Structure 1
Amino acid sequence: MRRWQLQDAKHRINELVEWALREGPQLITKHGHDAVVVLAASEYRRLTDEDGLVSLLLQAPRGELLEHGRPPKPIRALTLE
């Protein structure tokens, strides 16, 4: 991922957009710290797809017991020979 200082990104916005479209996400720094990432709209849609991984992770329960469909049967005894 290419890094751009904010001042350079402002002055070269057309180039920054072209890089994002051709090469992928572009990182913009502000005062030497990572600030934002510019990425192509198609990549953003892919990452935020309603059925995608990000959506699934964002909807995951936080600190709650996970509901599952398995019956609460005890573990069966196993005989090893």
Structure 2
Amino acid sequence: MQSWPVQDAKARFSELLDACQHDGPQMVTKRGKQTAVLVPVAIWNRLQANAQPSLKQLLLSDEARAELTLPARGQARRRPPAEAD
């Protein structure tokens, strides 16, 4: 994956886009730190299709939810209270 400083990415965006389409994902750095990645739309769509749903999506979905396994009641042991000094 080729790395582009943000100044070069801005100044040569067409070249960055062409490199992304031909060579795959391109890293953009800002002050030497990795900041963003430009990926071809085919890779993005594949990543989105494989992504796990968010908690909000799960709670709002109409799909059946799996049964939760709850621990048996009455088997927890409490610690004795600490003695006051």
Amino acid at match of 1:12: R
Q: In the TM superposition, what is the alpha-carbon distance from 1:42 to its structure 2 partner?
A: 1.3
After superposing on structure 2, the runs of 4+ consecutive aligned residues of structure 1 that deviate more than 2 Å are: none
Q: In the TM superposition, what is the alpha-carbon distance from 1:4 to its structure 2 partner?
A: 0.2
Instruction: Choose which of 44, 52, 57 in structure 2 pairs with 1:55.
Output: 52
Aligned-partner Cα distance in 2 for 1:22–1:48: 21
Aligned-partner Cα distance in 2 for 1:67–1:48: 27
Partner of 2:74: none
SS in 2 for 1:28: strand
Partner of 2:12: 12
Aligned-partner Cα distance in 2 for 1:40–1:11: 20
Please provide the CA RMSD for this pair: 2.1
The size of the alignment, in residue pairs, is 59
Aligned-partner Cα distance in 1 for 2:32–2:67: 45
- State the identity %: 33
- TM-score, normalised by the number of residues in structure 1: 0.63
- TM-score, normalised by the number of residues in structure 2: 0.60
